Chain A
Amino acid sequence: MSEKEPLFSSKNLKLLTDPVGTNNPITVLVLGICSALAVTVKLEPSIVMALSVTIVLAASNVAISLLRSLIPPRIRIIVQLVVIATMVIIVDQVLKAYAYDVSKQLSVFVGLIITNCIIMGRLEAFALGNKPWPSFLDGIGNGAGYGIILIIVAFFRELLGSGTLFGYPVLEKIGLYNTGYKDNGMMILPPMALITLGIIIWVQRARNKDLIES
């Protein structure tokens, strides 16, 4: 490549936008489901979780991409794990220092980002074979694709399950409870997260027929 590629060439932009839609890590690749079920009872922890995963993913993508020619193929998984674990611990410490309440709500799930299949998958599939800048964009894109699903699921679960958004009692303010409405206790339970996720996948595939496997 003699001519320098622009930072946001169409190819690079695709890295950013594809994982949000047609190549979404949760709804299309069905990765990272556990944390999507576990942390989406409320919006606030979901957003923090989405940001944490995005940061860890982007940072480890860049790190692995920089090291990609130095890592012996045989021990690459261990190296990847060391990098991810380092990033996760940094994020965990930052959360504990500056957002202690949310950190308590997320409990083990911040630590469990280490085992999130999306991160390992992107390192293996992308960062090991690409330069740092595209790897960074890929990390941000996949993090955003993960995050947007988390936020959609959490929006419905918090609104229908607790009647609040970000802890603000929306349904009470518009007077819905006076008509006899009650919060749906099942939305708070994990099965409903799975069903909500399933409905999102259903809607997405109904709109985009290319995603349907034969």
Chain B
Amino acid sequence: MKGLRNYLDKIKPNFEKGGKLEKFHSFFDAIETLLFVPNKVATTGSHIRDAIDMKRTMIVVVIAMLPALLFGMWNVGSFHFQSLGLAGEKTILETFWYGFLKVIPIIIVSYVTGLTIEIIFGQIRNHDVPEGFFVTGMLIPLVLPVDIPLWMVVVATAFAVIIGVEVFGGSGMNILNPALTARAFLFFAYPSDMSGDKVWISGLRDGQGIVDGFSGETIMGYAASGKLEQMPYSVSDMFFGFIPGSIGETSTLAILIGAVILIFTGVGSWKIITSVFAGGALMGLILNLFAVNDYMSVPFYQHLLIGGFAFGAVFMATDPVSASQTEKGKWIYGFLIGIMAILIRVLNPAYPEGVMLAILLLNVFAPLIDHYVIESNIKRRLKRLKATQA
């Protein structure tokens, strides 16, 4: 560590004003502040002076995603071997290793593409490389099916960073969650690679030998096509994540571990997380009341376990940039996400999963929610002022 610090200190003058590599100072800054907590603190004004900066905050989110990621890798391998009929013959390590080799390229591609674009924009616009992509770069692979072609990951990441973030002025100014922007882009641009019963399990589309009776259909797929009684998964499968789906979304348990990390460190808002689940449960209950078809009679708690619901609630809806900022607003924002997610999922057959669209929709509405929360607060306090003066 010491040697690294000395090396950075040695080359630092090159990047400072007047140095020969001055142009690349934002790139140097990005590396330096990533490795070491910067020694710059605010000296004027009423700022909170804390050792935790944006990079350290973002790392917490990445750590919180690790359980879901690791489980996802194992699950990829597990379903691959199940489809080949080798389920019992492979060890846990072999299974994990297969998934690891499948998932790592997606992560590398997503980070390299995103950071390259961020650094280029940082140079052109003369600002620091923003930290937001640490999280986005990890979120993008977790919400994709494992067999996604890598060039699509490049296109989607570039789209999300340029159109989703940089046109609005960079990280922190974006209206939409960039990772979901990338997913939505892929979903609408290349639907055959983002939905159906083949894409979720590695190797199925190459036509590798599939044992009889195996199906790569997701639970949403069974439900949407009205074949729920054929579905081979139990409720505990749903909770622990032994179901097909996007890489990181299957295990509710792993996601809940992440949620605990986020809430405990104060990085993610517990209000948003709980209100998304509450909204989803309520909508599920309302649909249960009417229950005119099989999908509507799926018990409400199962809705919270399947698809991307838990993942969206914990990692996507809590994105501090695109969520509501006011405390009351967070309750409304989360609650509406839960309601919309289940509503789209069950009632719109064109979209097998509604969580992505629900969060993007509420991202757009978040500033409006904040506006009315603040307005009502102002009104309430004006009234109180009048009452005390009278």
Contact = CB atoms under 8 A, between A and B. Distances in A.
Contact of B189 (A180, A187, A202): A187
A184 B151 contact: no
B363 to A, nearest CB: 15
Contact of B188 (A182, A185, A198, A202): A185
Contact of A181 (B151, B167, B185, B189): B151
B149 interface: yes
A186 B163 contact: no
B193 interface: yes
Contacts of A184: 155, 189-190
Contacts of A202: 167
A34 interface: no
Contact of A189 (B149, B155, B188): B188
Nearest to A181: B151
Contacts of A198: 167
Given A180-B149, A180-B151, A185 B167 contact: no
Interface size class of A (residues with CB under 8 A): 10 to 19
A186 B163 CA distance: 14
Contacts of B149: 180
B349 interface: no
B186 to A, nearest CB: 9
Contacts of A195: 163
B123 to A, nearest CB: 15
Interface residues of B, number: 13
B191 interface: yes
Nearest to B193: A182
Chain A binding surface SS class: helix
Interface in A160-214: 180-182, 184-187, 189, 195, 198, 202
A66 B151 CA distance: 58
A182 B155 CA distance: 12
A74 B16 CA distance: 67
Interface in B145-203: 149, 151-152, 155, 163, 167, 185, 188-193
Contact of A186 (B189, B192, B193): B189
A180 B149 CA distance: 8
Interface in A125-148: none
B140 to A, nearest CB: 17
B188 A186 contact: yes
A75 B124 CA distance: 53
A2 B190 CA distance: 66
Given A184-B189, A186-B188, A186-B189, 13 more contacts: A180-B149, A180-B151, A181-B151, A182-B152, A182-B190, A182-B193, A184-B155, A184-B190, A185-B189, A185-B191, A187-B189, A195-B163, A202-B167
Interface of A: 180-182, 184-187, 189, 195, 198, 202
10 contacts: A184-B155, A184-B189, A184-B190, A185-B189, A185-B190, A185-B191, A187-B189, A195-B163, A198-B167, A202-B167
